Every structure is written in C-alpha cells, then in structure tokens.
Amino acid sequence: MATIKHRTPLLLAIFIVSLTLISSCATSESMKGENFSIHVYQSGGVLTESETTLQAVLDIGKPVVLNFWAGDCPPCRAEMPALETSWQQYGDRIVMLGVDIGPYMGLGTFESGQRLLDQTGVTYPAGNAPDASFIPDYNLVGLPMTFFMLPDGTIYESWTGGISSGQLNERVIKLSSASTD
C-alpha cells in the first residue's frame, strides 16, 4: 500500500503529460478552428467593431495567433509580456488575438480580464466570447492555450500552458513561413 501512495503523484503527472501530448498530437494541419463571436475589449488597431467573429479576424488575410486566457490565471498573466513582444515584433505579419474565457473556466470575471489587460499593458487585440459553446471544439484542456492558425482557419499548431518568448517567436516564424508557401 505504501508503494501506491508514493506512486500516485508520479502517475498523476504521467497522466497529465499524456493528456497534453494527446491533445497536441490531435491537432493536425487538417483541423480547422471553429468560428465564434467575440466581444472586443481592445482593438489593437486591427479590429474595427466592438463585436466580431473569429472568421472576420481570419478574413484580414494574415495568420492568427489565438490565445485563450483568463483574468485570474497566473500562467496567463506570466505569458502576456511574451505575447505583447511578439505582437510588437511581428504584428505586420500576424494577428495576435487574446480571448478571455475566465468566467467559463472558473478563473475570474470579464472585469478581471479587462483589469489584467490594463495591468500588463498589452496592446494586441483582445476580447471575450459571449458564451462557452465553442470550448469543446477547441479541446481546451488548460489555460493558457494558444492556437497558431493559417489565414484559411487551419490550425497549424497548438500549445497548452504558458509559452516563453523563444517558443512563441519560433512558432510565429514557422507560421508566417507556412502561410506564404
């Protein structure tokens, strides 16, 4: 019995890593991101309406870095500076889009999401989804979660958990290159 107790944290860790790998592997180039509505918090100089859709963002014709986050999510807060830096560096080639789903994940309110944007000083386009109906379509297994999408909506790659500047920039460069092929 003592052996099982000591193995439980290890088994749990293996299960979580396996789930993350399965989720990442399930995302293939043939998977398209499902459309959903977005209430815009900030336009980032890109969005022109206070209400939009993912499809309208894709219609801009650039690859999209779609980041799901929450106002009361410490890893989300931690990665926001990397997203902002990437937006400043590659904003002419991509659209960075943050979507606050905190209320649907039990991680804050829309007000705490807007507060987080103010506190971190990010300027990329961000908003919230008016309902959670699309969440199963994206297999959101944790937050933050980032999808790298080609202009036609194809999910090129996904990333679960906080992403560093180096990891993000590497993927943005690959995404930009794949979009011009």
Spatial CB neighbours of 162, under 8 Å, sequence gap ≥ 6? 75, 76, 78, 79, 144
145 neighbors 61 (Cβ within 8 angstroms): no
Q: What is the pLDDT of residue 17?
A: 37
Question: Which pair of structure tokens corresponds to residue 20?
Answer: 């993350």
**Tell me, what's the pLDDT at 179?**
87
Domains of the chain as residue ranges with CATH: 29-180 (3.40.30.10)
Coil, helix or strand for 155?
strand
In order along its 181 residues, the chain shows pLDDT tens digits of: 444 454 444 333 333 333 343 344 344 445 899 999 999 999 999 999 999 999 999 999 999 999 999 999 999 999 999 999 999 999 999 999 999 999 999 999 999 999 999 999 999 999 999 999 999 999 988 899 999 999 999 999 999 999 999 999 999 999 999 988 7
CA atoms within 13 A on the CB side of 35: 9
Predicted TM-score (pTM) of the model is: 0.84
